[in-house]
């Protein structure tokens, strides 16, 4: 994917688009508001506004597909494939893999159709915010059929990408389970006074030590950082704490076994892609991902 090769953060953005679409996996997240028809999409939902990006990349993929095979490939399937391919581009290869390539991405199940509507209220309700505590996260994912293990491994998607100051300000100024040098650095990015610096960005996976991978590679360094109390979001660090979080063992496992993480992440992504998709005879193939036909 040229867009990801040129801007590695775009890979995280495309993965995030699929995440935010997939409590339905119907490309509803791509629809623009249309004041002429009083249609309100999901882009202004709290978890999405000033957060989602990459729409123009999906537009370009759709344009090329429509020129070759019009009316065949749904926007929902484009999102699913773009997420998988982004992970593949961003994944760090070991020296062993340069000689013996290993497949650690997943097969994308296709056949989704696109929605003709969207729900701002559903988007606000169905996407977990960054201030959830551990039990709330477990309960949230359980309601949609995911185990605590699957919740932890999907959280590993935060090994790439960035977050706005507004999502981590409370953590760095009010929480004790945070590495102090890490917090000090973040305070330079995110001042305590609202709204100063609200839109300033920090990597979700801060890997400042040479012992750890950088934030724009898809690897297991997210979990290594949780063990070091360097989770950026409150909901991230909830997965591991020294008082004995029930997910500690999973975080430790993934922090030492990258291939286990990559394999389990792929399996969880396939399962996520099955969350209430539209299939024939429901839905449509949108000709423009931003607009209803």
DSSP state of 156: G
**N-terminal to C-terminal alpha carbon distance within the chain:** 27
d(CA 262, CA 105) in angstroms, rounded, equals: 7
Q: Residue written as tokens 């495309």?
A: 14
Was 205 annotated as part of a binding site?
A: yes
Encoded tokens for 34: 């249309």
Which listed residue (20, 112, 169, 234) is catalytic? 20
CB-CB contact of 41 with 190 (8 Å): no
Alpha carbons 159 and 109: distance in angstroms, whole number: 24
Q: Which residues contact 55 (CB under 8 A, 6 or more apart)?
A: 17, 30, 289, 290
Joined together, the tokens standing for residue 280 give: 């024939």
Q: Is residue 245 within 8 Å of 37, Cβ to Cβ?
A: no
Selection from 109, 63, 65, 62 nearest residue 84 by Cα: 109
Q: Is 282 annotated as a binding residue?
A: no
State how far the Cα of 195 lies from the Cα of 208, in Å rounded to an integer.
Answer: 27
Q: Binding residue per annotation — 42?
A: yes
Spatial separation of the C-alpha atoms in residues 16 and 52, rounded to whole Å: 7
Is 128 labeled as ligand-binding? yes
**158 labelled as ligand-binding?**
yes
Q: Is 20 a catalytic residue?
A: yes
Q: For 220-264, give the DSSP string.
A: SHHHHHHHTT--SSHHHHTT--TTT-TTHHHHHHHHH-HHHHHHH
From the list 19, 14, 240, the residue with the least C-alpha distance to 123 is 19
8-state DSSP, 220 = S
Is 37 assigned to a binding site?
A: no
Cβ atoms of 110 and 103 closer than 8 Å: no
Catalytic residues: 20
Binding residues for Ca(2+): 21, 24, 26, 28, 42, 159, 205, 214, 219
Binding residues for heme b: 158
Binding residues for substrate: 128
Binding residues: 21, 24, 26, 28, 42, 128, 158-159, 205, 214, 219
């Amino acid at each position: 994917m040229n867009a990801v090769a040129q801007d590695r953060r775009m890979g995280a953005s495309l993965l995030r688009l699929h995440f935010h679409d997939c409590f339905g996996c119907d490309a509803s997240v791509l629809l623009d508001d249309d004041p002429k028809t009083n249609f309100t999409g999901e882009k202004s939902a709290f978890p999405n506004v000033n957060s989602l990006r990459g729409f123009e990349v999906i537009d370009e993929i759709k344009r090329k597909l429509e020129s070759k095979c019009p009316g065949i490939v749904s926007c929902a399937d484009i999102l699913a494939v773009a997420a998988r391919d982004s992970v593949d581009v961003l994944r760090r290869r070991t020296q062993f893999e340069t000689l013996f390539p290993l497949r650690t991405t997943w097969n994308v199940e296709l056949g989704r159709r696109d929605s003709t509507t969207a729900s701002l209220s559903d988007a606000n309700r169905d996407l977990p915010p960054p201030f959830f505590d551990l039990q709330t996260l477990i309960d949230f994912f359980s309601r949609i059929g995911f185990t605590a293990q699957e919740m932890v491994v999907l959280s590993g998607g935060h090994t790439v990408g960035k977050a706005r100051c507004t999502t981590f300000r409370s953590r760095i100024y009010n929480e004790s389970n945070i590495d102090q040098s890490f917090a000090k650095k973040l305070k330079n990015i995110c001042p305590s006074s609202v709204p100063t610096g609200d839109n300033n960005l920090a990597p979700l996976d801060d890997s400042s030590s040479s012992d750890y991978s950088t934030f724009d590679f898809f690897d297991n360094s997210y979990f290594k950082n949780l063990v070091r109390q360097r989770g950026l979001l409150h909901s991230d660090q909830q997965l591991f704490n020294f008082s004995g979080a029930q997910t500690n063992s999973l975080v430790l496992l993934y922090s030492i076994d990258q291939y286990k993480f990559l394999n389990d992440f792929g399996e969880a992504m396939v399962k996520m892609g099955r969350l209430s998709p539209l299939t024939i005879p429901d839905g449509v193939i949108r000709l423009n991902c931003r607009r209803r036909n």
